[in-house]
Structure 1
């Protein structure tokens, strides 16, 4: 059965202490990252048992909830229920956070939102390399030249993307941050760098450096700019603040970056990358053993983001990255270990979880394999780390590298290929193949304590707990209008009935009433949706329009508070139907019972609110 991530979000918010305890929430490729006021009130075991949650991790001042590939779905429902205080969201939780944890938190918040976009460009570079090597595409052709500069655009303007996310993290006006970043990659500035002529600002010599593809300089610049902006916001009169605060911030920060923070940032970035590259130069094989064996351990603690500036810096400075070439073995080894569990276990449930985790791991998402299978059974995790170390040693011996930024997996293999470097590429393929197969074989041989299945009678009893108390109930329409099956609404999620069965109502007027006596279990801050629970425990969702959350409450007036009791006929929400439609959104009201397994009958056609039954349970 498909997981209802709205319910997952509801339970998460509840178990994490509600809106008042959640200071901020972001997400990366697989995790929701919460900053809580007080983590001590959270029961980790209860959170881990929520349907849709793989596991939880407390690290870097964050309470991290591992969701997997559907993290964006869960995030969308969570963020609609919480109010983030922008002034305090970035201060960390109620507990003190160490410097290292703080740095990791900042890096993850800055890079996570655009990593897939960066990786997509890296894959495109790899595909172009394969096409050129196979004589399918000529480097002199216009097609190649256009696709080639497209593939490098994200890296060239990397400071601009960083400025967007860093501005949000540090509390700076995003457009001020974007202008500062654009100044560093402006064609006029690049022309000054290429000319090589001495440049002075107020008599001070400017060290002309290229900041395209740079990381640390723009992060430092945005961080300092956030303080400068706050200073001018405090002292400039309100009547001219919106004009002069941006002007002073930009006029001060860009020269300061060119004079000081840019060169310092470049030096810091070069030093960090230099330490790793020096170690790699001493012994690529030993580096491969360490990276291949320990990378997924860093993932467990959520501190793997710390390596991101190093890898990005390598692409900018060297045109390739060795770390990713070693890291790939760690990814494939854990996928292999999950496959070993699939082959060994006699537990049908574990067999299904392991098969799915192994397949997902091959595409670079290892959290399901780690938390759902390998770490849970302990020995497979160790076997995976050993296999990763062996694979990493092979990758190091062949000097395997990645030529474009990516997250290792089957789909990203073209990023490791470049014409004239086939030996390195085949070394990479050998390393991941060995890591994958060895991970599976070691796990199968070493074995693990297999989890026993529940007796059939126990399973049946557990299922019966979920049976509703009554059936054959009838529910009125919350709005006046024409009723259609929910399968016919123009939204894939609702139409698939994965969130529940029910109807779509083409509303005649913009007023939503309570269709029965019960409780307003969920009231979205934007006013576009209300969750209701009747006296028998039936849970319903009334969702006004499709994708109307994007309106951020404009056109909606809520008349009910979350947790309050409602009587049939109470006005819940008023909405401006014409405003919704003028904004380009479908105003159909979705009315569903959120138990996807519940059998229902519906009454199509025109109905008056509260007068006619439109949903009947069977």
Structure 2
């Protein structure tokens, strides 16, 4: 059955605290990456149960929701429901370690254009195959044009990085691009090639090539963010727009050439040198470590840390050994998922594992990891063991990738180069061993198959069990909250589609009413429990004994008051009776500061319809709407 990702997006936004709690959202190959104002109000288990969601991960100051191949569909629908704050920073004002901060920066910078880099890498591989087959003339125009196209993304990599880094570090994008272009400008490259001494204000410039470089431009844009803010703060407004870019560019390009460029080159070279030294000590052990542990790094969301190393290897060496070993880890998890498909008798699990194995075969392993292997535990371990063995094979043959790519069956041409057939054969053997061993180990070791458990449970159901279920159902009906829900606040009731908040008016958050309050006292409309309270006091979520959930949202955009004028009377988990005071708010303060004080009172389930009782209603006493 096809998944409705529009519904997935609606439920995600609701469970993550709504538009008020979502500062920003981006996506990578398989994950939605949310920046939330308060992660503590989110129930991870409920988010993970939403149809279309594979699992959730909290890392690097982000709340990550793993979707899989359809992440772009979900992202499109989510962005229609939330107002994105481009200035939101996932690590700002959050206590996260330096490693998490670095990984957050790397993922934010590289994720948007990784597929573009990979496409160029695959094109390089295809050209290599055609050359080996004598199917293309390397002196002809066709080859030469395709060849320089395949290298363009790497040659101008600093420019690509400057675009995404400018968004991460809050720099004017055009200023950042000009700084990057200066580093790969033909005139500067001519200086580098000439080798003649060059001085700037009497200081000798170390002439280095910055094409395909990574760390120098990241450092440059980071420092540029402070330079830009300095001039924006102190320059008179009449000249600020013109002279802020001029001063920032005129200062940062020379500073990069004199300091940050050489420092960045040295740091990048050192990091790459450490990895390559360890690899050369024993490629087989390196293969065991990378093949066995790579997908574990993916689980914790820290796999982005290796990206500068691999990109640097392509720039400095013309190839990368890490990707050659990483391929085994990818295919081993796909193999483990395929083993689950072959062994399970559960129809639903068989369908999920088949799909996960197929997507893993093409390089996207999150569905296999989160949807199948990690959930069943033993297949995950089998996959890691198989990946380690496959990695050892790859290391023994010194398998490498000649063009940037994300390992998968479609990117195999990136591992081929004329004159290096042995390494390519080793790569093929390593992924074959990893896939087959992952499959076989999973079948042999096994896992808990829900199909057999379900069959046993079904056969053990007695008449007493059925009677007990019927009694419980009857009790639920007896104790159910009436479909007529009382107004939580005294005021004029209007249909929710008439309120001045687009997220609520669109009924994406659910159906209900808006109440134009006469005072600032909000009461419980029924007996139930408090499921969620926003720290600022403007939002309360409740549910009844049957699980019917309602949301009370006080005012429009009042989250910006950061709690001023609100006094919470309840906490998450509290049990309340109809008429208990939930929140007191200063209606006059809200309106004085220009906020609409309308209280949104809705049923969180978007499939429920309501019959609105318009007009003035007394809190607790009068009906605001009926659920129909």
TM-score when normalising by structure 1 = 0.75
Contact 2:382 2:442 in 1 (8 A): yes
Taking the TM superposition and a 5 Å limit, the aligned residue runs for 1:403-482 are: 403-452=402-451
CA deviations 1:240-284 (Å, max 9, x no partner) are: 211110000000000000000000000000011011000000000
Q: Which moved more, 1:42-51 or 1:444-453?
A: 444-453
Q: Structure 1 CA distance, aligned partners of 2:417 and 2:509?
A: 57
* Residues 1:158 and 2:135 are matched in the alignment: no
Shift of 1:524: 8.4
Are the aligned partners of 1:90 and 1:169 in contact in 2 as well (CA < 8 Å)?
A: yes
Q: 1:188 to 1:563 in 2, by over 3 A?
A: farther
For the pair 1:520 / 2:497, whether they are aligned, the reply is yes
- Whether the 8 Å contact between 2:333 and 2:435 is mirrored in structure 1 is yes
1:174-573 counterparts in 2 under 5 A? Answer: 174-452=173-451, 519-520=496-497, 531=508
Q: Secondary structure at the match of 1:163?
A: helix
Distance 1:93 1:79 in 2: 22
Q: 1:114 to 1:319 in 2, by over 3 A?
A: same
Aligned residues of 1:36 and 1:93 also touching (Cα < 8 A) = no
Segments of structure 2 that go 5 or more residues without pairing to the other structure are 462-468, 474-493, 514-547, 549-595, 608-628
Structure 1 runs (4+) deviating above 4 angstroms are: 453-458, 521-537, 560-566
Superposed, which structure 2 residues align to 1:88-167 within 5 Å?
89-90=88-89, 92=91, 95-167=94-166
Give the whole-Å Cα distance in 2 for the aligned partners of 1:197 and 1:179. Answer: 25
Specify the SS of the correspondent of 1:19: coil
Change (3 A) 1:528 1:289: same
Post-superposition CA distance 1:306-365 (Å, at most 9, x none): 000000000000000000000000000000000000011111100000000000000000
Is there any run of 5+ residues in structure 1 with no aligned partner, and where?
466-516, 538-559, 567-593, 596-618
Shift of 1:158: 0.4
- Distance between the aligned counterparts of 1:120 and 1:216, measured in 2? 22
Counterpart for residue 17 of structure 1: 17
Larger Rg: 2
Q: 1:562 to 1:146 in 2, by over 3 A?
A: farther
Q: Is 2:333–2:368's contact at 8 Å kept on the other side of the alignment? A: yes
8 Å contact kept, 1:523–1:561: no
In structure 2, the residue matched to 1:609 is none
Q: CA RMSD in A?
A: 2.6
* Closer, same or farther: CA 165–521 of 1 in aligned 2, 3 Å: farther
1:522/1:347 Cα in 2 relative to 1: closer, same or farther (>3 Å)?
farther
Return the TM-score normalized by structure 2. 0.74
Residues 35 and 93 of structure 1 are in contact (CA less than 8 Å); yes or no, is this contact kept in structure 2? no
The equivalent residue for 1:6 is 6
Q: Which whole-Å CA distance do the structure 2 matches of 1:51 and 1:77 have between them? A: 14
State the Cα deviation string for residues 582-606 of structure 1 (Å, max 9, x = none): xxxxxxxxxxxx98xxxxxxxxxxx
- 1:520 Cα shift? 3.4
CA contact (8 A) 2:335 2:438 kept: yes
- Return closer, same or farther for 1:562/1:423 CA change in 2, 3 Å cut-off: farther
Distance 1:197 1:180, change over 3 A: same
After TM superposition, give the deviation of residue 21 of structure 1 in Å.
1.9
CA distance in 2, matches of 1:333, 1:38: 37
Q: Please give the per-residue CA displacement for 1:154-186, whole angstroms capped at 9, x wherever unaligned.
A: 000000000000000000000100000000000
Structure-1 residue corresponding to 2:58: 58
Q: Report the CA distance shift for 1:259/1:38 in structure 2 as closer, same or farther (over 3 A).
A: same
Count of residue pairs the alignment pairs up: 489
Match of 1:81 in 2: 81
Mapped partners of 1:521, 1:533: distance in 2 = 14
Question: Following the alignment from structure 1 to structure 2, what is the Cα–Cα distance between the partners of residues 93 and 11?
Answer: 27
Matched residue of 2:84: which SS? coil
Helix, strand or coil at the partner of 2:404:
coil
Matched residue SS, 1:520: helix
Matched residue of 1:445: which SS? Answer: helix
1:126–1:414 contact (8 Å) kept in structure 2: yes
Please give the alpha-carbon distance, in whole angstroms, between the structure 2 residues aligned to 1:313 and 1:172: 24
Contact 1:337 1:381 in 2 (8 A): yes
Taking a change above 3 Å as real, the CA distance of residues 226 and 410 of structure 1, as seen in their structure-2 partners, is same
Please name the residue that 2:554 is paired with.
Answer: none
Displacement of 1:383: 0.2
CA contact under 8 A between 1:518 and 1:532: conserved in structure 2? no
